[in-house]
Structure 1
Amino acid sequence: MNSILLFFISVLAGVFTQNSSELTINITNIESIKGEIIIGVFNTDKNFLKDGSAIKNYSIKVENHSEQIIITDLPKGEYAISMYHDENSDNECNRNFLGIPKEPYGFSNNIKPKFSAPAYEDCKFILDGEKELEIKLLN
């Protein structure tokens, strides 16, 4: 009886770990040691970068010139990341009159926007187990 129970527990454990993933994001080029880094995770191009459209949001208190976050609650799939350094802790990405962020920001694949915000297609990546990204903040 114990071997049957152990078998079913093993099968269930395999089912639950099949879709598990671990995304490590290393954030570099942090100039000021204050505030938080706010991270948005998107899984579609629909409303990419629109306020309130991220499927998950995370924040990291800035304590060093580089920070790391390990995300374990995303299922395998396609994603894009955006982030900004909320230096003044006002919970928004402050922008100038042209809409360009005044606070440091970054995107997955280290996309550097030229004349407009990047497209989801440029920032997307596949998470299919363990993945490590390095995102360099743009100042």
Structure 2
Amino acid sequence: MNILFLFTTLISTLFSSENPELIIKVSNIEKIKGEIKIGVFNKETNFLKEIGSIRNYAIKVNKSTAFITITDLPKGEYAISMYHDENSDNECNRNFMGIPKEAYGFSNNFKPKFGPPKYKDCKFTFLENKTLNIEMIN
């Protein structure tokens, strides 16, 4: 009887639906219009591609700093990519060389130098309530 109780307690703890809270603070927003589009990734495969994100969020821009609280993300390892969709066309507009014309940002405030970041550059561990501060690159 005690073994059954312990087993039930262990299983309910492991499969608890309670997720930690992830708060993302986005700063350095220059243009007060459009939305910040956020993609959450959990592996290197298709990182930065729309098909690779496991969750997507949007924040309406109405000041130079924006916040979003995410409560539907289970504990794990993730990387975040975002861009400021200023013209509300649902894509990160780029110039002829492929460089974003709209502001963008990554978890760990990774700033790419010669090409897009890799998953390992942006990944972080999410096991408890956490706040990420991401500064947009303009």
TM-score bracket for this pair, using the shorter chain length: 0.7 to 0.9
SS in 2 for 1:41: strand
Identity across the alignment (%)? 62
- Does the Cα contact within 8 Å between 1:107 and 1:135 map onto a contact in 2? yes
Q: What is the CA–CA distance in structure 2 between the aligned matches of 1:11 and 1:118, rounded to whole Å? A: 39
Alpha-carbon distance, 1:129 to partner: 1.4
User: How many aligned positions are there?
Assistant: 130
Alpha-carbon distance, 1:133 to partner: 0.3
Match of residue 118 from structure 1: 117
SS in 2 for 1:48: coil
Q: What is the CA–CA distance in structure 2 between the aligned matches of 1:54 and 1:93, rounded to whole Å? A: 15
Runs of 4+ more than 2 Å apart: 10-19
Q: What is the CA–CA distance in structure 2 between the aligned matches of 1:133 and 1:74, rounded to whole Å? A: 14
Alpha-carbon distance, 1:15 to partner: 5.5
Gaps of 5+ in 1: 1-9
Q: What is the CA–CA distance in structure 2 between the aligned matches of 1:18 and 1:88, rounded to whole Å? A: 37
Alpha-carbon distance, 1:12 to partner: 8.9
Q: What is the CA–CA distance in structure 1 between the aligned matches of 2:14 and 2:120, rounded to whole Å? A: 31
Match of residue 105 from structure 2: 106
SS in 2 for 1:83: strand
Match of residue 28 from structure 2: 29
Alpha-carbon distance, 1:19 to partner: 5.2
Q: What is the CA–CA distance in structure 2 between the aligned matches of 1:83 and 1:28, rounded to whole Å? A: 12
Q: What amino acid is the match of 1:26?
A: K
Match of residue 126 from structure 2: 127
Gaps of 5+ in 2: 1-8
Q: What is the CA–CA distance in structure 2 between the aligned matches of 1:72 and 1:15, rounded to whole Å? A: 18
Match of residue 76 from structure 2: 77
SS in 1 for 2:108: helix
Alignment deviations for residues 11-65 of structure 1 (CA, whole Å, 9 cap, x no partner): 9985664751111000000011100000000000011001322000000100110
Q: What is the CA–CA distance in structure 2 between the aligned matches of 1:37 and 1:107, rounded to whole Å? A: 12
Greater displacement, 50-59 / 74-83: 50-59
Q: What amino acid is the match of 2:119?
A: Y
Greater displacement, 129-138 / 19-28: 19-28
Residues 51 and 12 from structure 1, CA distance in 2 versus in 1: closer, same or farther, beyond 3 angstroms? closer
Q: TM-score, structure 1 length as denominator?
A: 0.87
Q: What amino acid is the match of 1:110?
A: N
RMSD value, Cα? 1.8
